[in-house]
Structures are given as structure tokens and as C-alpha cells.
Amino acid sequence: MSNPVCWFEIYVNDMQRAKQFYQTVLSTEFSLLSDPTDNQMEMWAFPSDMNRYGASGSLVKMHGIEAGGNSTIIYFESKDCAVEEQKIEAAGGKIHQPKMSIGEHGHIVLAIDTEGNLFGLHSMQ
């Protein structure tokens, strides 16, 4: 198993606020996914390209599941994570760990989104 992660979901309480945050920080757009649960769930997918490295995923608002307080960290790819780091607080998030070296594996930033979820940014630069 070379790349075991095939999908991720970030649970949110306020979908519009969460979409705006990630669209602003990551300079990306979402696409609405159909609801497989009869109006129990709202899902907006991050862009994906099946011919490129990496997993795709979505923001999810689901009845009975609150955002934040979990221990899973999703890292988003970046050319230089300092660029996205500069957008986080203006978009309503918080910096948990400013850009730091992780040695030969590049650099990371840890942040908290508008829903209380911890996430990471990773770059080799």
C-alpha cells in the first residue's frame, strides 16, 4: 500500500463559512456532491485530478456530527506554505504553528479553520 489515503472529509457546522475559508486560503473552488442520505448531509468537494498524486475529499455538514475536536490532520499541498499561511487569519482562521522546517521532508504550517478543525499545509520550499 503506497498511498493509503484515498479520500478525506472535513466536518463543518457552517458550510458557507467553511467553503469561504478554504476557497480564500487555498485559492480553490468546490463542487456540490449529491446527497446519498436523503437530506441528512451536504457535501462540497475539493477539486480533483485522478491522473495526479494526492487524495481528494470534501467539506461535509451532517446532522448529528459536530466539527472540531478530532485528532486527524489533513495536509494540503503547497508550493510554499508561507503563502497560504498569510491568508489564514484574514479568512477567519488561526495559526497554530507558523511555517517550520521538518528537515529533509520540507516545511509545514498548522492552522485552525473557522469550524475549529486543525489542518496542515505542506511544501518542500
pTM (2 decimals)?
0.81
pLDDT at 123: 94
Pairing of strands 107-112, 118-123: antiparallel
Residue 1 predicted with pLDDT over 70: no
Question: Which residues touch 75 (CB under 8 Å, ≥6 apart)?
Answer: 108, 119, 120, 121, 122
More confident position, 109 or 5: 109
pLDDT tens-digit map of 100-121 = 999 999 999 999 999 999 899 9
pLDDT at 71: 63
Query: Can you list the alpha helix ranges (DSSP code H) found in 58-125?
Result: 81-88
pLDDT at 2: 65
pLDDT tens-digit map of 36-94 = 667 778 989 999 888 887 888 888 887 777 887 766 789 999 999 999 999 999 999 99
Cα 73 from Cα 57, distance rounded (Å): 13
Spell out the domains of the chain, with CATH numbers in brackets: 7-123 (3.10.180.10)
pLDDT at 52: 83
